Amino acid sequence: MIAGRVPQCNIKIKMNLSKQIIILGAVLLAGICSAAVTVKSLRCEYLSNPLGIDATSPRLSWIITSNRKGETQTAYQILVASSPQLLSGGQADLWDSGKVSSDESSQIIYSGLPLVSRERCFWKVRTWDRDDKVSDWSPDAQWTMGLLQPDDWQAKWIVSNPSINDTNGSLLIRHAAYEAVGQGHVVDVTAVLNAQIKQGRLKIVVNNQTMGGDPALHAVKRLRVEYEYGGRTLQKEIQENQTLILPGEVSPLPYLRKSFELKSPVQRAVLYVTALGLYEVHINGQRVGDHVLAPDWTDYRRRVRYQTFDVTGLLKRGGNAMGALLADGWFSGHIGNGGYEFYGRQPAFLAQLEVTYQDGQTERIVTDDSWRMHGSPIISSDFMLGEDYDARLEIKGWDKPGLDESQWSAVGVREESALQLDPQVMPPVRELFKLSPKTIKTSGPGSWICDLGQNMVGVVRLKVSAPAGTRITLRHAEMLNPDGTLYTANLRGAPSIDHYVCHGGGGEIWQPRFTFHGFRYVEISGLARRPAQDAIAGIVIGSDTPRTGEFACSDARLNQLESNIQWGQRGNYISIPTDCPQRDERLGWMGDAEVFIHTASYNADVAAFFTKWLVDVDDAQSPAGAFSNVSPNPSNDKGGVPAWGDAGVICPWTIYEMYGDRRVLERHLPAMIKWVDFLKSHSDGLIRDRDRGEDFGDWLSIHADTPKDLIGTAFFAYSTHLLAKSCRVLGREAEADKYDQLFADIKTAFNQRYVTRDGHVQGETQCGYAMALKFDLLPEDLRPQAGQYLAADIKAKGGHLSTGFIGVSYLLPVLTQAGQADTAYGLLQQDTFPSWLFSVKQGATTIWERWDGWTPEKGFQNPGMNSFNHYSLGSCGEYLFGFIGGIRPASPGFKTILIDPVIRDGLTWAKTSFASIHGKIATAWKVKGNRLTLEVVVPANTTATVIVPAQSITDVTEDGKCVTNAKGVRFLRQEDGKALFEVGSGKYTFASKIK
Ligand code: BGC
């Protein structure tokens, strides 16, 4: 608690007497009537007004703001009612918490009447301030419950083609030749193709990768196939980068629809809807909601997420219609690393519309065999291939009542008995921004390349006027070849080509619905004339996690790096945390998620996003306890890989640290225990020298191979340590003791095996030292030495790092904490290879997968693995916020805050803010000569320890006054050139002498 002080006001303000009286009156009135705080930003399960949740004791949070320094909440009262009317009348029929003495304003567990399916909960909160004065009520907020019981669902899964599950005859490739046109180089790929046939069908993108090699460099390739199907021998020829589909052509994506009558005026209507695949749903000609690529990716063999929409305003008495478009998506389209039709052959749709009439009667319109289907203008759509749309096939009024359905056919109904229906608990993927082309250049006869100026993820919105039948092709790429053409080699089996066929008549606007690409450049061809500037727009999509972090400093290159990190996250948090958005991968790689989560949770509010994904992580855990390499896991990998598998422990722990979320620990503790027990039983003498699965080591390090068993053992120790801490948080003391002991034993084994008496870590790599320091694996007295060896290695490499994905995320914090902050600054501002700023210097607008994705000397890296939008190496973002900005949690969820900016030569100022679950924290520091000013903003109801670099407390002022007289500031102690203070909420301006 901060001791209250009498403010020393030396500011003279001239004003007339009447004004003074009015202000004095207002101040007195405010003092008597209510607290000086405002309560706002009400959220339930991290979301604003969520619909259809399944947490039966959901967690509530709010933010308090105040103009007073040192403001705290001493109590709160929450009212929850079943209608807005009851709530405004103060009748909390679901829950009246009463006045609860507490300073907690987040993770407050609803403890009212049991909540049932469809329940509507309207709520508000008021708080008491530090003087026990009550605030006004917050604005009303709400949440609703979803369908909690399986038998709440009457809807049936429908499919467009009832016969598609039948075996349609067998397919055999008799002969297939992949050849370099006109050069005589031919590769026999008959076996390659036959191996890809699944359930009598084959769909494969033709390129060097999928065909098992390049028959001739720099030559145009094609595939010729002779195959047998239905008793006939047939032939097909296809160009490189096109998709071979056998047998025959696929049918277009379906329109699904249902006409229905509503007999009287509607009071309320709620739609529960989802798909195995992707859907877009419309009612009476209007699109429902703004979700893109819904539902999010889960392991569809066991779980799918449904969405809930209030559609009251879309319905009317009399004739109505509901229509849907349905696509393959992750369910039956191409997914990472060659997966195709992994979960099933045909997508399915599920919808339950629940209508309450004004007279209280109810009615349900559900998907069943009465729905009708028709081919849509979307000829095909696939994440990797792209989307193909023929506007001439549009059916006017397909989603409106009164359509002639005589040409529409019956749908099929499919049983999905093993599937669990869970609600959407995270922000959906949405359209986030629109980018306009920076340049449009001719790239050949009838084709132009637009540069959007930013490597982005999403689709192009096309605006054209061209005659009916004009076929426009859009090709996407992250980079350009030296000759100015699109660099697409790194897309591997993801050609990312969209086609649009015009219906004619002018003013056509189109964008693909069910695919996305990672690109900066788009080539448009098929138009008779150069496209107008507004013909192309980049529509950026991503999981709509609210941005929380802002950073800027005196080095413009670091500001670009920070922007690149933010863009990397935006483009790769698409439903799940993916590795990259452009090539045929886009998987939930666990290692990538794990190294980046800390940075991610500074950049954006990712609590709900991880709440959902961590369920996918547990779903993918093997029965033996091995966490997988990717989650969801559409492959046969057995997991168990150091650092990648450890995401199953590190991610829940990070969410706990950043948001104070105990429930995430509770929910995932069983899986965390299974993982640590798995590691123990797959080690010898607590050394992980076996069973490490595919083991990627310190992936993409630069000539610095850290022994893989050492990495395995280090992560085994770290996961065990975090598990022990998690048990402790949850009050499971006996288990906490057990895993603390195990951690101590692994540490002993680690030191015996890998650490010399003078603190050298085997392998002498930066990654090895970074892990040993970060994971607390060294005896206390050896830590400084290890820090010095680490700094010495960086120096010996000319001020360069050598770490890959794993070591890189710990490097800067451990250097700083080991007293090597100058080296950390040097590394961060290094701009020759390998370094963060090397790619920035080359004009990067996102984080590259490799330190040398492109170099002036060698050009592009191996296209087999050369993504220009991979966030992992951007995990240094944590350092920008937590160390340069100096904003770190002193207790989980930033209820108490540590403000400890690291200020070194190289930067003269830095401005950082982070919107924590308790409100916005900010720092801004500036150095001029030997003078430092540090502005700090601490949100209401939190306290902070502020560390001000200063030789002595006598050198420190706050708000221009000697700091000992400053209001709300308590001096703690002076240590090592730093003065430590405790402050309550408010804005402070410290100044000190630093040299
Ligand atoms: C992915 C990575 C991933 C790695 C495993 C790559 O193909 O793109 O980001 O972590 O495989 O080493």
Condensed to tens digits (0 to 9), the pLDDT of residues 589-619 reads: 999 999 999 999 999 999 999 999 999 999 9
Lookup: tokens for 413 = 């109904």
Tell me what the mean pLDDT of segment 915-935 comes to. Answer: 97
- Predicted confidence (pLDDT) at residue 151 exceeds the cutoff of 70: yes
- The rounded Å distance from CA 662 to ligand 1 centre is 30
Q: Tell me the H-state helices in 304-421.
A: 329-332
Tracing tokens 């168990």 back to the chain, one arrives at 640
**Nearest CA, atom 4, ligand 1:** 589
Q: Residue 687 carries which DSSP code?
A: B
Lookup: tokens for 301 = 């063999």
Cα dihedral 652, 658, 664, 666 sign:
positive
Q: b/e per residue, 666-701, with b = 16+ CB within 10 A?
A: eebbebbbbbbbbbbebbeebbbbebbbebbbbbbb
**Nearest CA, atom 5, ligand 1:** 696
- The rounded Å distance from CA 932 to ligand 1 centre is 43
Point out the ligand 1 atom lying closest to the alpha carbon of residue 870.
9
* Other beta carbons within 10 Å of 965: 14
Tracing tokens 């370099």 back to the chain, one arrives at 180
- Predicted confidence (pLDDT) at residue 963 exceeds the cutoff of 50: yes
pLDDT, tens only, 8-56: 223 233 344 444 444 444 444 444 445 689 999 999 999 999 999 999 9
Tell me what the mean pLDDT of segment 897-914 comes to. Answer: 97
Whether 585 is catalytic is yes
Q: b/e per residue, 384-394, with b = 16+ CB within 10 A?
A: bbbbbbbbebe
Residues belonging to the chain: 995
- The rounded Å distance from CA 703 to ligand 1 centre is 18
- Residue 250: the pLDDT is 59
Q: Which of 179, 657, 849, 878 is catalytic?
A: 849
Residue 401's pLDDT band (cuts 50, 70, 90): very high
- The rounded Å distance from CA 587 to ligand 1 centre is 9
Rounded-to-integer distance, Cα 506 and Cα 500, Å: 14
pLDDT, tens only, 166-207: 444 578 898 999 988 777 788 999 999 988 887 777 888 888
Rounded-to-integer distance, Cα 391 and Cα 928, Å: 62
Q: Is 637 in the pocket of ligand 1 (CB under 6 A)?
A: no
Lookup: tokens for 448 = 């132009």
Q: Is 848 in the pocket of ligand 1 (CB under 6 A)?
A: no
Cis peptide before 295 (omega within 30 of 0): yes
Point out the ligand 1 atom lying closest to the alpha carbon of residue 865.
7
**Nearest CA, atom 11, ligand 1:** 589
Candidate from 241-255, 406-420, 557-571 with smallest mean pLDDT = 241-255
Tracing tokens 């903003």 back to the chain, one arrives at 937
- Predicted confidence (pLDDT) at residue 213 exceeds the cutoff of 50: yes
pLDDT, tens only, 236-281: 878 887 778 887 655 799 999 999 999 999 999 999 999 999 999 9
Gyration radius of the chain's alpha carbons: 30
**Whether the model pTM is above 0.95:** no
Tell me what the mean pLDDT of segment 355-376 comes to. Answer: 97
Q: Is 596 in the pocket of ligand 1 (CB under 6 A)?
A: no
Tell me what the mean pLDDT of segment 893-898 comes to. Answer: 98
Compute the mean pLDDT over every residue in the chain, rounded to the nearest whole number: 93
Rounded-to-integer distance, Cα 628 and Cα 493, Å: 23
- Residue 237: the pLDDT is 79
Rounded-to-integer distance, Cα 777 and Cα 96, Å: 49
* Other beta carbons within 10 Å of 127: 31
Q: b/e per residue, 937-961, with b = 16+ CB within 10 A?
A: bbbbbbbbbbbbbbbebebbbbbee
With a CB cutoff of 8 Å and minimum separation 6, the contacts of 609 are 426, 427, 543, 545, 573, 577
Q: Which of 585, 594, 657, 878 is catalytic?
A: 585
**Nearest CA, atom 1, ligand 1:** 579
- Predicted confidence (pLDDT) at residue 368 exceeds the cutoff of 60: yes
Q: Is 589 in the pocket of ligand 1 (CB under 6 A)?
A: yes
pLDDT, tens only, 429-445: 999 999 999 999 999 89
- Residue 217: the pLDDT is 77
- The rounded Å distance from CA 589 to ligand 1 centre is 7
Q: Residue 955 carries which DSSP code?
A: G
CB 612 within 8 A of CB 890: no
Half-sphere exposure of 640 (CA within 13 A, CB side): 23
DSSP reduced 3-state for 826 = helix
Q: Is 871 in the pocket of ligand 1 (CB under 6 A)?
A: no
Rounded-to-integer distance, Cα 211 and Cα 178, Å: 7
Separation of CA 803 from chain center: 24
Helix axes 805-817, 590-603, angle to 10 degrees: 50
* Other beta carbons within 10 Å of 876: 24
Q: Is 585 in the pocket of ligand 1 (CB under 6 A)?
A: yes
- Residue 226: the pLDDT is 86
pLDDT, tens only, 970-990: 999 999 899 999 999 999 999
Residue 230's pLDDT band (cuts 50, 70, 90): low
With a CB cutoff of 8 Å and minimum separation 6, the contacts of 429 are 291, 292, 293, 294, 296, 541, 542, 543, 544, 574, 575
Q: Residue 266 carries which DSSP code?
A: E
* Other beta carbons within 10 Å of 165: 14
Whether 119 is catalytic is no
- Predicted confidence (pLDDT) at residue 850 exceeds the cutoff of 70: yes
CB 947 within 8 A of CB 898: yes
Point out the ligand 1 atom lying closest to the alpha carbon of residue 696.
12
- Residue 34: the pLDDT is 55
Residue from 691, 675, 696 nearest 614 by CA: 675
Lookup: tokens for 888 = 């770190």
Secondary structure (H, E, C), 880-948: HHHHHCCEEECCHHHCEEEECCCCCCCCCEEEEEEEECCEEEEEEEEEECCEEEEEEEECCCCEEEEEE
Lookup: tokens for 573 = 């948090």
Rounded-to-integer distance, Cα 269 and Cα 312, Å: 5
Which residue type is seen at 183?
A: Q
- Residue 27: the pLDDT is 42
How much of the chain exceeds pLDDT 70, in percent?
95
- Residue 882: the pLDDT is 98
With 0-12 CB in 10 A as exposed, 13-18 as middle and 19+ as buried, what is 547?
middle
Backbone torsion region of residue 6, taken as left when φ is above 0, otherwise alpha when ψ lies between -120 and 50, otherwise beta: beta
Which residue type is seen at 233?
A: T
- Residue 484: the pLDDT is 95
